[in-house]
Amino acid sequence: TQLLEQSPQFLSIQEGENLTVYCNSSSVFSSLQWYRQEPGEGPVLLVTVVTGGEVKKLKRLTFQFGDARKDSSLHITAAQPGDTGLYLCAGGETSGSRLTFGEGTQLTVNP
Amino acid sequence: GAVVSQHPSWVICKSGTSVKIECRSLDFQATTMFWYRQFPKQSLMLMATSNEGSKATYEQGVEKDKFLINHASLTLSTLTVTSAHPEDSSFYICSVVGGRGFNYGYTFGSGTRLTVV
């Protein structure tokens, strides 16, 4: 069974600060996705990374996939209260296969 | 990505009764759907993989006779929680995989909050 360790589990910061969330595994994934979930709703896909070493940017969010495709990070610049939510990383063994989820990072950005 | 509709969004039922949750892929023919369970402040746990036209594949520790999955068409999968008990209270979420390029990934339904009283 592949496992994804996500850290930190909880993060409370002030508006304007930067933060990084990490997702690590001893297994190789064919792809890794990052999701954001708000209370009472399903997760919403933010990005999919598939190539080792690739970096993708989505406005203030920067996603990186490790060279060995075992780890990933999400960096948020100048966090805003609207960024508050549960961030989940998830790895896929093959295209369209079951996903393995990390434990999640509950982010709170205080105004 | 795909558009997924999950219904109902919340349900309260009495202990011992059964509840059916529907997951529809509105614009994508999904041969495979996934059912997850999520407890408060926790991540998603895969319960089963729903395969169109065949039996679902259940994860270890998930009772297939308690959580009945039917994937009768390419656009609909249902999860029935039979003889529900308070410990079955949870947030149930379905997902399909689809999309293209940058946005390839799994689209999730909006979830169903089940409360068993």
pLDDT in tens, B20-43: 999 998 887 888 899 999 998 889
Length of chain A: 111
CB contact under 8 A, B104 and A104: no
Option in B1, B46, B103 nearest A98 (CB) = B46
Distance CA A84, CA A38 (A): 8
CB contact under 8 A, B106 and A47: no
For residue A99, the chain B residue with the least C-alpha distance is B46
* DSSP per position, B83-110: S--GGG-EEEEEEEEE--GGG-EEEE--
| Cβ atoms B99, B7 nearer than 8 A | no
List pLDDT tens digits, range A19-55: 999 999 998 988 899 999 999 999 998 998 989 999 9
Q: CA nearest B62: which of B34, B22, B30?
A: B34
Distance from CA of B115 to the nearest CA of A (A): 13
Option in B49, B106, B109 nearest A45 (CB) = B106
List pLDDT tens digits, range B40-53: 888 999 999 988 88
Task: State mean pLDDT over B81-107.
Answer: 81
Q: Which residues contact A91 (CB under 8 A, 6 or more apart)?
A: A2, A4, A23, A25, A27, A29, A31, A32, A33, A99, A100
How far from the centroid of its chain's Cα atoms is residue B103's Cα?
22
Distance CA B68, CA A20 (A): 40
Contacts of B109 in chain A (CB under 8 A): 42
